[in-house]
Chains A and B, each alone.
Chain A
């Protein structure tokens, strides 16, 4: 009796306009529903309804593209969590990190995940590129997607670089000092680079000044790197990722013919 009541209730729920507005198809295991599961879900619809056998072989893909995306998502989630506790002010940034590791519940874990996922993402993007090269998957018609991939690799490295200034520890200060010294040595655009002085570059108007918001690593640099790390670069990554996936979807999986 109870079970039939439950069935009745469930049938009634499924017949309401609200349920139908949210869930567009049933759960019966039919080819139609399998297609609709992929097709009518915002996350799944990036995938084709039917996939080539080869594309789910671990030996072929090593899952590295997918893992890169997963790590990026993890970085976004843990990054937002860190932003609740971190203030990009040179007088308190380091103490905020210390607080995060001692006072905030699971703060250390969140910070560790953020750091290790970042290192992992550099590695997986790199391995993904190697896999794509070794399987010749960049060949026509996928040339442009390979270029977007290289851009994403550069953005990944830039995200890492802008990230490790933020804790304001010794590594942050000196690594960014070295990094921006290289920027000052940029040909044409840096004051110490070839033809920089000849083109009117000064310590207060060259590319290093633009990066740091000053002539040395200080408060302005911290704020700039914070905004680049938390807003500008992630937004660029999302835009390029969208094109990257859309192209993969349109060009089809590159597996053996």
Chain B
């Protein structure tokens, strides 16, 4: 038994806000099944599922586009090595999504829509989803021959000259600052370290309450995931604006 302050004995409001599943819920489900099935049938009658030429090793389609839901990954292949775009980032995305309930300890907004009570969570998720959608949109409508950028009004049958002049960041440093290759490499490594270091330390100092509430064990994975997510458009921007190919060079991998 439980003691509750109040004038009425009916403290649980369950009796008033529930309805019988039969028929209310099942009618709706039935209606939903009919509508979706009808839409699917209509689509299947009026549109054809794509089927290309028989598989052949002699000709490679150009451009070779995956179905739309993988075009985000395919677009990332332009900017990252296959092990990052194809394996590393998908694992990080899946792992990051799984971590969400353990990193988000805000007790508000449980079971209802709210932006004002969980601005950080909603805006972060929105940012990630928007990034993914933008990559898909680029892949579907703006990529043509040789995976070059084609505006809708451009002739998609004319090849464009391949992108040239991409340089690695350490080499740019060495050339521009007139320092040795090793010093250039050390400088670019320092910048990347500084990005993650500053990204970890500054928010913790600036939003002290946020950090205290989260605790070290939650804050670090959250910050690292966040910095990697922001790092993707940064790397894309570096390449598009400054023609930088790699930022980190090691004998085993390049980023």
Contacts and interface: CB of A to CB of B under 8 A. Distances in A.
B23 to A, nearest CB: 7
B31 to A, nearest CB: 10
B110 interface: yes
A138 B100 contact: yes
Interface stretch (B13-21, B160-168, B186-194): B13-21
Interface stretch (B60-68, B203-211, B218-226, B237-245): B60-68
Q: Which of B28, B87, B102, B109 has the most CB of A within 10 A?
A: B87
A109 B45 contact: yes
21 contacts: A35-B20, A47-B21, A49-B20, A50-B21, A74-B40, A109-B44, A112-B48, A113-B41, A116-B47, A139-B104, A140-B110, A169-B54, A170-B59, A175-B64, A175-B67, A182-B86, A182-B87, A185-B86, A193-B83, A254-B111, A257-B111
Interface string A115-146: 11101101100000110011111111011001
Interface in A54-71: 54-56, 63, 66-67, 70-71
Contact of B60 (A172, A174, A182): A174
B67 A150 contact: no
Interface in B80-137: 81-83, 85-88, 94, 97-98, 100-102, 104, 107-114, 118, 121-122, 125, 129
Contacts of B100: 133, 138, 146
B25 A70 contact: no
B221 to A, nearest CB: 15
A212 interface: no
A255 to B, nearest CB: 6
A136 B100 CA distance: 10
Given A112-B45, A116-B43, A119-B68, 17 more contacts: A47-B25, A50-B19, A51-B24, A51-B25, A90-B55, A112-B49, A113-B40, A113-B41, A134-B113, A137-B110, A143-B102, A154-B94, A169-B52, A170-B54, A174-B60, A190-B83, A257-B111
A185 B82 contact: yes
Contact of B51 (A97, A161, A255): A97
A70 to B, nearest CB: 6
Contact of A171 (B52, B57, B129): B52
B162 to A, nearest CB: 19
Contacts of A146: 98, 100-101
Contacts of B104: 138-139
B154 interface: no
B87 A52 contact: no
A147 B96 CA distance: 10
Given A116-B40, A139-B101, A170 B83 contact: no
Contact of A178 (B19, B64, B110): B64
Contacts of B98: 146-147, 150
Contact of B22 (A44, A52, A56, A122): A44
A175 to B, nearest CB: 5
Contacts of B108: 136
